Structure 1
Amino acid sequence: MENTKREHPPFFKSVRNYFREYCTYSSIHGFRYFGEKRTYFERGWWFIVFAVTLAGCAIAIREVYKKWITSPVIVSFATRETPIYSIPFPAVTICPEAKTKQDLYNHTHILRKFMNDTALDEREQKLYNYMSLICNPPEFIFPISDNSASGEDTFDEDFFKELHNISYINPFLSCSYMGNNRDCSHSFKPIITDEGICFTFNMLDRSEIYKDNTVQFRDYLTMDDLTYENWSMSNGYSPNSGVYPYPRRALLAGAKNSLNVHLLTQKSDIDHTCKHSLQGFRVLLHTPMRIPRPSVQYFWVPINQVVLGAIQPVMINSSESVGMYNPKRRECYFPKEKELKFFKIYTSLNCKLECLTNFTLHQCGCVNFYMPRDNSTSICGNGKSRCMKKAEQLLQMGDLRKKIELSENKSTNGNNTKNKEFYRDLLDCDCMPLCNDLSYDVEISQNDWDWLDALRSLSPNGTLSFKEDDYHLSSLTLFFKSSQFITSQRHELYGPTDFLANFGGLLGLFTGFSILSLMEAIYFLTVRLCCNSRLYGYWAGPDT
């Protein structure tokens, strides 16, 4: 019998038949109507319905994807409360408004000499130049021109020695913590801030905060060999930290378990022209590794008043899955992700202080006395006061400036554009918050304190052992408001599995598409073609 070669349908007809076969077996909703031998109107109607449905599905998937790209992280409240003993008691920085010992430096006396056109001697001129960085007399009361004193562009290390000699006023009469009396000089250590010499409680040692290249002065901010090996911002206290670790923690809430300090102000040291006419103490609560700036954020403890502060911690934790995202997308840093030049530990506020330091150095060629620096950097003198103030204002407006420039229509020449880009990079501190962060809110209540009558009533003969006109006394009590608090948690809005579930759910809702539907399409394009050739000698299979 003579073998005859089998004739196959034309190619396009085979493709049509094969497509109809796929439509018959496909699990995608509506596809089988495309393969039926029905009128063009019916098939056209189903094509329109399918196209509209597919378009709606694509729009919904696009919105989900956009949300995943722009906001991959969500912040919510934790399901369990956190006990206060798992976090440190806040570092407390106290700054007296009486800045100098009046018998060594009287700012009012110097200003009166200016107003009377009386010349200053050499030491008075030097101390005035030094204190001009701390004292800011109201210009509407004492309008002093720039030529009233010869300003210096830079100061040497003698600035800190003189500042210590004339400003070191220990204001503490008594201290107690958790109901136990403490040595104030052991608990509160001197620290140099933008308000001059202040005193801080429960901060880390400077060797734990600053890198070795940072210049230090005397024994300021040294915590008597107390280290924080048993605590970190990310992991909290270690299991073997014990009941009384460092930084100190409050085991219980309430005023009986507080930090209480009595603060003395010697009346003879009050100077109403150095800072403001208000007298008392600036107080700032912060985390133990953060360098405080009491001129920016503080609350007030007036003289002859009792101030109670109920502390409420504000804490946010981040899940490990958040670390998979780029810091720009999650809008936070983990401690090891950003390196600072002067600080060992990254915090948003330490980063901003370092950024201000770098920008001030660029603008003025020196840095302010409270800023971190190395041996090659000079301290700005009072002749650079305006430059330092302008640099800080420019930096504070940096983020707003960038946003405004992005929204403006840029039609500047090349030089201006290059200059803008340079300043944009310089002003971009990139000081995002920590992914695991802690701060402290405080609710303040205060009342007048007639402490003189109280002391008289406690004395045997109703008299005082000192002149009642010599001192003012203030009291500060700080305690946790409750034994537990609610933390916030930063976690993924959509993980890979969640995004896949949303993606697949929308496809299934609109079209009935699934992984098996995808495998069907792959099967018809690959495996079935090969098997048809082997079984029937033709890729399209038997003629049907």
Structure 2
Amino acid sequence: MSIDKFFSYPVVTVVIINHVPEVYFPAITICNQNMIKADNAENHKIFLELMEASSTGEGTIHWDLYDNVTKGYVWNLTEWAFQDGHKIEDMLLECKWKLHQHCSPKDFRPIMTDFGVCFTYNWDEHNPLPVGHPGSSYGLVLRLNIEQDQYTWSEFGGAGMKVYAHAQGETPLVKMHGFSVGPGMETDITLRYIKRKNLKSPYKPYCDEKQLKYSHIYNAELCRFECEVDAIIEHCGCKDYRHPGNDVISLQTWVINWVAVRRGFNPTREKETKQSARDVALIGYLRVIGV
């Protein structure tokens, strides 16, 4: 009996409270819910019409109307989104760190996320900003202009910003976990830092030192995201332009597969995910004001 119990590797939970003088503030990623600015929309009228048609849910896109311009047309959608989307220089009206330190657009890095083009503050994993106290006086305050007069097409039909707090080095899953801030609204967010270290085999759930292809940081959601991207590429031969990678495809192929994913294809069922021994979730304070 005692031998069987030993080889079942029972675990005793020990909780130790360790007070530290400061922790690192998370990276903050912000995204405009609009994809392309109206001033640039004429350059991509066909794409916007296709997006509108594929979002109606009626199931029919009359490709004959677009064949003369879309067949074989290779379009780097990622490059286009960065070029003709919203710029942080236009959206950022005010930025304060710990209330008395001013920040600027230079402190934000443009990044492509699962939601589209976004901008990340405090992104450098080798030099993250420290914070020693909770509360609004020791966090990040942003006042943003969403440029609603420049709106053309949004996948979810809303107006405002998507915001997501995450660890430095982590690929931000804004579409999956980000929260929305509407125009004219002030939102205060309190954050807590949580770090988990899972036991390796023979302890359940038999974790390993899994490395992710698209993120320096591991967590279960990122693992599932990676499996989803790989499954889409395997089944469709292409990927969403917002997913990691350098694939460039025809406009028609991209829209066809984008509609397929929206209408029920569940790629995560096709891949088995495995828990890693390192799992970082998210201390800090953030205020976002939409204009």
* TM-score bin, normalised by smaller chain: 0.7 to 0.9
RMSD: 3.5
Q: Which amino acid aligns with 2:60?
A: S
* Matched-pair contact (CA < 8 Å) for 2:148–2:159: no
Partner secondary structure for residue 146 of structure 1:
coil
Residue matched to 2:192: 312
- The superposition leaves residues 83-132 of structure 1 with CA deviations (integer Å, 9 ceiling, x where unpaired) of 3723x2111111112322112217xxxxxxxxxxxxxxx95225545xx3
Once residues 355 and 260 of structure 1 are traced to their aligned partners in structure 2, the CA distance between those partners, rounded to angstroms, is 35
Residues 191-230 of structure 1 correspond to what in structure 2 (within 5 A)?
191-204=111-124, 228=126
Inter-CA distance 92–444: structure 2 relative to 1 (3 Å threshold): closer
Q: Is 1:257 the equivalent of 2:172?
A: no
What stretches of structure 2 of length at least 5 have no aligned partner?
none
Residue matched to 1:124: 45
* Matched-pair contact (CA < 8 Å) for 2:99–2:137: yes
Once residues 244 and 71 of structure 2 are traced to their aligned partners in structure 1, the CA distance between those partners, rounded to angstroms, is 18
Inter-CA distance 270–290: structure 2 relative to 1 (3 Å threshold): same
* Matched-pair contact (CA < 8 Å) for 1:179–1:256: yes
Q: Is 1:248 the equivalent of 2:129?
A: yes
Once residues 227 and 77 of structure 2 are traced to their aligned partners in structure 1, the CA distance between those partners, rounded to angstroms, is 23
Q: Which amino acid aligns with 1:201?
A: Y
Q: Which amino acid aligns with 1:268?
A: D
Residues 129-140 of structure 1 correspond to what in structure 2 (within 5 A)?
132=51, 139=56
Q: Is 1:270 the equivalent of 2:151?
A: yes
Residue matched to 1:147: 62
Residue matched to 1:353: 225
Q: Using the TM superposition, give the Cα deviation of residue 290 of structure 1 relative to its aligned residue in structure 2, in angstroms.
A: 1.3
* Matched-pair contact (CA < 8 Å) for 1:101–1:269: yes
Once residues 241 and 80 of structure 2 are traced to their aligned partners in structure 1, the CA distance between those partners, rounded to angstroms, is 13
Q: Is 1:381 the equivalent of 2:282?
A: no
Q: Is 1:429 the equivalent of 2:245?
A: no
Once residues 84 and 300 of structure 1 are traced to their aligned partners in structure 2, the CA distance between those partners, rounded to angstroms, is 32
Q: Is 1:363 the equivalent of 2:239?
A: no
Q: Using the TM superposition, give the Cα deviation of residue 359 of structure 1 relative to its aligned residue in structure 2, in angstroms.
A: 0.8
* Matched-pair contact (CA < 8 Å) for 2:162–2:181: yes
Q: Which amino acid aligns with 1:329?
A: K
| Matching residue within 60, 64, 70 for 2:5 | 64
Q: Which amino acid aligns with 1:167?
A: G
Once residues 389 and 138 of structure 1 are traced to their aligned partners in structure 2, the CA distance between those partners, rounded to angstroms, is 9
Once residues 263 and 164 of structure 1 are traced to their aligned partners in structure 2, the CA distance between those partners, rounded to angstroms, is 19
Q: Using the TM superposition, give the Cα deviation of residue 390 of structure 1 relative to its aligned residue in structure 2, in angstroms.
A: 6.5
* Matched-pair contact (CA < 8 Å) for 1:138–1:276: no
* Matched-pair contact (CA < 8 Å) for 1:360–1:391: no
* Matched-pair contact (CA < 8 Å) for 1:368–1:388: no
Inter-CA distance 299–289: structure 2 relative to 1 (3 Å threshold): same
- The superposition leaves residues 432-467 of structure 1 with CA deviations (integer Å, 9 ceiling, x where unpaired) of 1443x3323899999xxxxxxxxxxxxxxxxxxxxx
Residue matched to 2:41: 105
Once residues 288 and 351 of structure 1 are traced to their aligned partners in structure 2, the CA distance between those partners, rounded to angstroms, is 17
Q: Is 1:187 the equivalent of 2:107?
A: yes
Partner secondary structure for residue 80 of structure 1:
coil
Q: Using the TM superposition, give the Cα deviation of residue 175 of structure 1 relative to its aligned residue in structure 2, in angstroms.
A: 0.6
Inter-CA distance 270–390: structure 2 relative to 1 (3 Å threshold): closer
Name the larger-Rg structure: 1
Residues 327-346 of structure 1 correspond to what in structure 2 (within 5 A)?
329-333=204-208, 337-346=209-218
Q: Using the TM superposition, give the Cα deviation of residue 268 of structure 1 relative to its aligned residue in structure 2, in angstroms.
A: 1.3
Partner secondary structure for residue 145 of structure 2:
strand
* Matched-pair contact (CA < 8 Å) for 2:138–2:285: no
Q: Which amino acid aligns with 2:5?
A: V
What stretches of structure 1 of length at least 5 have no aligned partner?
1-57, 107-121, 205-226, 229-245, 399-425, 447-472, 476-544
- The superposition leaves residues 347-399 of structure 1 with CA deviations (integer Å, 9 ceiling, x where unpaired) of 4343333222211111001121122225xx4446112213444786141xx2x
Q: Using the TM superposition, give the Cα deviation of residue 281 of structure 1 relative to its aligned residue in structure 2, in angstroms.
A: 0.9
Once residues 139 and 287 of structure 2 are traced to their aligned partners in structure 1, the CA distance between those partners, rounded to angstroms, is 15
Q: Which amino acid aligns with 1:80?
A: I
Partner secondary structure for residue 381 of structure 1:
helix
Moved over 6 A (4+): 441-446
> Under a length normalisation based on structure 1, what TM-score does the superposition of the two structures give?
0.46
Once residues 357 and 153 of structure 1 are traced to their aligned partners in structure 2, the CA distance between those partners, rounded to angstroms, is 25
Once residues 187 and 126 of structure 1 are traced to their aligned partners in structure 2, the CA distance between those partners, rounded to angstroms, is 32
Inter-CA distance 474–126: structure 2 relative to 1 (3 Å threshold): closer
* Matched-pair contact (CA < 8 Å) for 1:175–1:262: yes
Q: Using the TM superposition, give the Cα deviation of residue 146 of structure 1 relative to its aligned residue in structure 2, in angstroms.
A: 2.1
Once residues 147 and 79 of structure 2 are traced to their aligned partners in structure 1, the CA distance between those partners, rounded to angstroms, is 23
Inter-CA distance 199–280: structure 2 relative to 1 (3 Å threshold): same
Inter-CA distance 179–293: structure 2 relative to 1 (3 Å threshold): same
Inter-CA distance 439–302: structure 2 relative to 1 (3 Å threshold): same
Partner secondary structure for residue 193 of structure 2:
strand
Once residues 49 and 14 of structure 2 are traced to their aligned partners in structure 1, the CA distance between those partners, rounded to angstroms, is 52
Residue matched to 1:22: none
> Under a length normalisation based on structure 2, what TM-score does the superposition of the two structures give?
0.80
Q: Which amino acid aligns with 1:474?
A: G
Q: Which amino acid aligns with 2:230?
A: N
Inter-CA distance 156–332: structure 2 relative to 1 (3 Å threshold): farther
Residue matched to 1:488: none
